[in-house]
Structure 1
Amino acid sequence: MTENFLNLKKIKIYNLFWLVASIILLIGLIQDHTEDNTFDINVHDTYFVIGHFYVALFLSLGYYLTGLGYWIVQKAMKKKLIIGLTLIHSVILNGSFLVYWLVIAYSKAFLESPFPLFDNYQLINRTLIVLSILILFIGQPIYIINLTIGVFKKRKHIS
């Protein structure tokens, strides 16, 4: 059991974000060929219709750049980050990705719409809003603070 735990410690955080970015891009490519492959946003009298692939490409780019930020600080600059902040940020972002897809799977498996032509996306929309607020107001500030502290923190010199 301790061997498995030690192997988990070898996983670098930037590799985890790059893996999630690849998974998001793969999901976008798969969903691009489905019947319902658009994301509709209704703002008053205007509808914005965006293809799932473009949403996936944008999210994938965000996860990739997050991993790149961690890689630059840890590998290129050889700086240490605060483990607690890194853990909180990665749990919020990667956990949000997992929770969102679990809610979609639950909605498709168990929720029925009362009217056949009415798609009931209320649970998915609420989940998306809550996760977006969590990421924007807690996750991303933690990421920025962690990278800023990591870049400007001085190494302790042992004499």
Structure 2
Amino acid sequence: MGARLFTKPHLYFWISIPILLLYGFLNGDGTLSVYYYDTYFIIKNAYLVVILAIAFSIIGFWYWLMRKLNRKLVMWMTIIHVIITIDGIIVAFLLEHFFKDSDINSIMAIIVMLIFAVQVVFPLNLMLNFLKKSK
């Protein structure tokens, strides 16, 4: 039953876009700040959600295209990519919103690095699909 929820991963990304944009415009003055050792990354929420919306629409397009071409992606890779990407971003925004005064930067850095690292899974899943079908 759980895997059936991920047969249309493009919908997860596309449904997330208006939610992200709404959050970003309502909290446009806020910033997401992450620091790792001596490197600080600070970006305004309004800019971040636009970048994420563009990325989510591209990722959603590729998932949609694979479905339209009847290409079967590796399910566990799809599940990991969708959950860590979308839920990681939600957790990062919630932590930044509710714990502004707390020292959560190490947790934020781990979440952001995990989100970036899992993005390798998506193109790998696409490549494995095309290599498998070409044999």
Question: Any stretches of 5+ residues in structure 1 without a counterpart?
Answer: 109-119
Equivalent position to 2:129, from 150, 155, 158: 150
Q: In 2 relative to 1, CA 127–12 (structure 1 residues): closer, same or farther, beyond 3 Å?
A: same
Q: CA offsets, 1:67-98, max 9 Å, x none?
A: 111112221x2211011110111111122023
Secondary structure of residue in 2 paired with 1:153: helix
Percent identity of the aligned residues? 28
CA RMSD of aligned residues (A): 3.0
Say whether the 8 Å CA contact 1:73–1:150 is kept in structure 2. no
Aligned residues: 130
Which protein shows a greater Rg? 1
Whether 2:5 is the aligned partner of 1:9: answer yes
**Equivalent in the alignment of 1:122:** 103
Question: Structure 2 matches for 1:38-117, cutoff 5 A?
Answer: 38=31, 50-75=43-68, 77-104=69-96, 106-107=98-99
Correspondence 1:12-51 to 2 at 5 A: 12-32=8-28, 36-38=29-31, 50-51=43-44
CA contact (8 A) 2:31 2:45 kept: yes
CA distance in 2, matches of 1:92, 1:21: 16
The structure 1 segments of at least 4 consecutive aligned residues displaced by more than 3 Å after TM superposition are 8-11, 36-42, 47-51
Higher relative contact order, chain-length normalized (CA < 8 Å, sep 6+): 2
